[in-house]
Amino acid sequence: MKKHNFSAGPCILPQEVMQKASEAILDFNGLGLSLIEISHRSKDFVEVMDTVRSLALELLGLEGKGYEALFLHGGASLEFLMVAYNLLENKAGYLNTGTWSDKAIKEAKLFGEVVEVGSSKDKNFNYIPKGYVVPKDLDYLHLTSNNTIFGTQIKEFPKTDCPLVCDMSSDIFSRQLDFSQFDLIYAGAQKNMGPAGTTLVVVKEDILGRVSRQIPSMMDYKVHIAKDSMFNTPTVFSVYVSMLTLQWLKDLGGIAAIEEINEKKANLLYSEIELNPLFTGFAKKEDRSLMNATFNLADESLTEVFDTMWKEAGINGLNGHRSVGGYRASMYNALSLESVGILVDVMSDLERKG
Ligand code: PMP
């Protein structure tokens, strides 16, 4: 039986995407060869790369607006330093909303001065700081749109005079935003796109080339743009599955359609967390994430009973991150409303038994 997969990432992908991906492993496009044994310079793979790059821009509404989409290696963690390598000449601002922002800050400090414009560390990152002041003289401001571990999400983005950079690893393609307010967006594939391996970077070309340092080729966004995201051998499988997922999303009606479903899923679960006295939500209500719901049992002595119940219901991946504890239900694009319904049923069953 296929499990209800609430894992935080790597995570659930659409079943039909996995079906097509497994077929391509055996025979890609009827070539009599596997996707993973053909040259990345072959016509068939070049077409995959071209398609996924244009699909990404199309779904984000950024076609023809001076942006390039790249599918690189190294995960979002490499972008922590690539962003600074390419953009940080003097001073950058970072909003510290948790573990991943913290790691991005650490890397950026290797390249220049970093100002933490705001932080929610005082409350173990259970909220998004607001009303912070963005200094005028920044090379860029860096935000993390969705905090996978703590279950918070930025709902309103600041207006800035400097380039705006955003780590969207755990909520890319999940909700409608004016993506043109960002100058650089990056996201590891392994949540809403595909298997781990590739990282989507969407960058507005005119913010590049402003730093005076020499940038090694693999670290240089301009090099990757000039080579159509094929400077070296790409992570072909991850890129291919990302293409299938983005096609699946487009056929579904794009981000507008998935946002509606994501809101239904999140409303269902958050209502249960609010109404069921056995549970308490971790993140501040107004900042709660549509993707990762974090919650705790009000009475920890029920842990064993609850854990047994959700596992018996075929649920996977509900344990919270060690820095928060409790539970985290990740409801990425491919997770169905039905799966959330199963979890909510288990939670209300616990209340009835309790
Ligand atoms: N940023 C965010 C918001 C994340 O959730 C993660 C991984 N869960 C990362 C960065 C790091 O990604 P990677 O493992 O691809 O380097």
Q: How confident is the model at residue 343 (pLDDT cuts 50, 70, 90)?
A: very high
With beta carbons less than 8 A apart as the criterion, state whether 2 and 15 touch. Answer: yes
Does the Cβ of 144 fall within 6 Å of ligand 1? yes
Instruction: Please give the mean pLDDT across all residues of the chain.
Output: 98
Check whether 354 has a pLDDT greater than 80: no
pLDDT (0 to 100) of residue 1: 85
pLDDT (0 to 100) of residue 162: 98
152 is in an annotated binding site: no
Does the Cβ of 74 fall within 6 Å of ligand 1? no
> How do the domains of the chain map onto residue ranges?
15-252, 254-353
- The string of pLDDT tens digits covering residues 262-292 is 999 999 999 999 999 999 999 999 999 999 9
Does the Cβ of 139 fall within 6 Å of ligand 1? no
Ligand 1, residue 79: give the atom nearest the CA: 16
Give how far the C-alpha of residue 284 lies from the chain's centroid of Cα atoms, to the nearest Å.
20
Ligand 1, residue 145: give the atom nearest the CA: 3
Give how far the C-alpha of residue 93 lies from the chain's centroid of Cα atoms, to the nearest Å.
21
ipTM, two decimals = 0.99
- The string of pLDDT tens digits covering residues 174-203 is 999 999 999 999 999 999 999 999 999 999
Known catalytic residue: 248? no
Pairwise CA distance, residues 191 & 188, whole Å: 7
**Active-site residue (options: 139, 171, 191, 204):** 191
Mean pLDDT of 118-128: 98
Whole-number Å distance, alpha carbon 93 to ligand 1 midpoint, is 19
pTM over 0.95: yes
Q: What is the 3-state secondary structure of 21-54?
A: HHHHHHCCCCCCCCHHHCCCCCHHHHHHHHHHHH
Does the Cβ of 145 fall within 6 Å of ligand 1? no
CATH 3.10.450.50 fits 15-252, yes or no: no
Does the Cβ of 100 fall within 6 Å of ligand 1? yes
- The string of pLDDT tens digits covering residues 64-122 is 999 999 999 999 999 999 999 999 999 999 999 999 999 999 999 999 999 999 999 99
The string of DSSP codes covering 56-78 is: HHHHTT-TTTTEEEEEESSHHHH
pLDDT (0 to 100) of residue 345: 98
Whole-number Å distance, alpha carbon 80 to ligand 1 midpoint, is 10
pLDDT (0 to 100) of residue 324: 92
Whole-number Å distance, alpha carbon 100 to ligand 1 midpoint, is 7
Q: Give percent above pLDDT 90 in the chain.
A: 99
Does the Cβ of 289 fall within 6 Å of ligand 1? no
Of the candidate CATH numbers 3.30.1330.10, 3.30.70.141, 3.90.1150.10, 3.40.50.1950, the domain formed by 254-353 belongs to 3.90.1150.10
With beta carbons less than 8 A apart as the criterion, state whether 199 and 252 touch. Answer: no
Known catalytic residue: 44? no
Known catalytic residue: 204? no
